[in-house]
Amino acid sequence: MIYYLYEILKEFNIPGIGMLQYISFRSGSAIILSLIITTAFGRKLIRYLQKQQIGEEVRDLGLEGQMQKKGTPTMGGIIILTAIIIPTILFANLSNIYIQLMLLTTVWLGLVGFMDDYIKVFKKNKKGLAGRFKILGQVSLGLMVVASMMISDDVLVRESVRSRSGEEVVETYTDPVTGRLQEQVKTQEIKSTKTTIPFIKKNEFDYAWIVAFAGKHAEWLRWAVYALAIILIITAVSNAANLTDGLDGLATGTSAISGATLGILAYVSGNVIYANYLNIMYIPNTGELTVFIAAFIGATVGFLWYNSYPAQVFMGDTGSLALGGILAVFSVIIRKEILIPLLCGIFVIENLSVVMQVAWFKYTKRKYGAGRRIFLMSPIHHHFQKKGIPEPKIVTRFWIVGIILAVLTIVTLKIR
């Protein structure tokens, strides 16, 4: 809303009003407002949750300090979602298709998570929302994201025009300053299913290559393959964030680190100068996503005020499902989804630890008659708890690993 204020007030030549059009200023404002919302509104919500006795039900799994968490207010994800949505509405360009998709993701998965928490807390059903309905919500979101990217005229990628021989087409133009003829590579903005591959010189992969054999059917098949990939990514990352939310501040801090990294990637991908300098895919209008991710960073960092050890509130599925989904959809939009195993490495490891534990247990039970385990307990953060490592130390070490992975992700921009 404040973004549109510039259009109204620019005629009055008010000093400093021009700042409202700059992404950097609006991003800074978004992160400050989200921090204020989480710290100020958070305390009131925690008191309300305590008053309503909306607390976490904890099973005794033999983990140190676990039973002390019983009764801690949950559904704190409402704080995070509020601190993302309000600054985005105030400071972002709401006509931007990418902002609309991110708001849709936040609200959609927030509602799925809220239903799960509501069933657990108010209906006293420990299983919560049935797994098939969670998957249905995630798959539906994936279909909406892909449909928007396929149909919207605003979702385009700029790439070089190439001749039949595969060489870039160069065009000449007259420099308006010097009056001399200059050469530049001819470009065009097109619909594309391309994405980025790390550490490779020509670091672009097109999902269309998978179905190149299909001839005349390849056009619609590439979008079908693309849709399957995106649905898988959204579902996997959203559920992985949910699994990671098992220690105080773990999922929140990890999400903040990944969000900051995605903010950098979005900014350079949406800026034609930086994109050309780094020789990466330029995606028009994605620079506006910096405002959204700034609110995301502020919300997650601000939530740590109450969620760090010992936690005064848990985010619940209301927050964790949404955080994972936001990171996944954001990566898809800026064509960096293949970087997720590196960028969201903590989430991936947590998810894999559960898959490995369950698969190995079932296999050994079938073969030997008694199930065996790889880890003392999964997800893997509980394995370290079983080994006697204090919870704050586990969380801090996971954050450090997350920062290392974030740096490596940014390094992929230049190292190929």
pLDDT of residue 189: 78
Site of tokens 């105030």: 90
pLDDT of residue 161: 57
Using the predicted structure, report yes or no on whether residue 218 has a pLDDT greater than 90: no
pLDDT of residue 165: 56
pLDDT digits (tens, 9 = 90+) for 182-214: 656 666 778 888 898 888 877 788 898 898 888
pLDDT of residue 70: 75
pLDDT digits (tens, 9 = 90+) for 254-301: 999 999 999 999 999 988 888 888 888 889 889 999 999 999 999 999
Q: What does the block give as tokens for 406?
A: 């974030």
Average pLDDT estimate for 78-97: 94
Integer angstrom CA distances of residue 192 from 98, 146, 330, 360: 15, 12, 17, 40
Phi then psi for residue 53, to 5 deg, are 55, 40
pLDDT of residue 100: 96
Q: Report the C-alpha gap between 186 and 180 in whole angstroms.
A: 18
Point out which residues pair with 96 in neighbouring strands.
none
Point out which residues pair with 170 in neighbouring strands.
185
Q: Report the C-alpha gap between 80 and 106 in whole angstroms.
A: 10
pLDDT of residue 330: 97
Please spell the DSSP secondary structure of 25-55, one letter per residue. HHHHHHHHHHHHHHHHHHHHHHHHHHHTT-B
Using the predicted structure, report yes or no on whether residue 224 has a pLDDT greater than 90: yes
The residue ranking higher by pLDDT, 144 or 217, is 144
The residue ranking higher by pLDDT, 328 or 284, is 328
pLDDT of residue 185: 60
**Among the ranges 14-23, 113-122, 198-207, 256-265, which has the highest mean pLDDT value?**
256-265
pLDDT of residue 73: 83
Average pLDDT estimate for 25-32: 93
Pairing of strands 157-160, 170-174: unpaired
Using the predicted structure, report yes or no on whether residue 131 has a pLDDT greater than 70: yes
Global pTM value: 0.91
Average pLDDT estimate for 112-117: 94
pLDDT of residue 38: 94
| pLDDT band (50, 70, 90) for residue 9 | low
Cβ distance 102 to 96 under 8 Å?
A: no
Q: What does the block give as tokens for 274?
A: 């930086």
Three-state DSSP at 168 gives strand
pLDDT of residue 239: 94
| pLDDT band (50, 70, 90) for residue 149 | very high
Pairing of strands 157-160, 187-190: antiparallel
pLDDT of residue 126: 78
pLDDT digits (tens, 9 = 90+) for 371-382: 899 999 989 999
Q: Report the C-alpha gap between 238 and 353 in whole angstroms.
A: 16
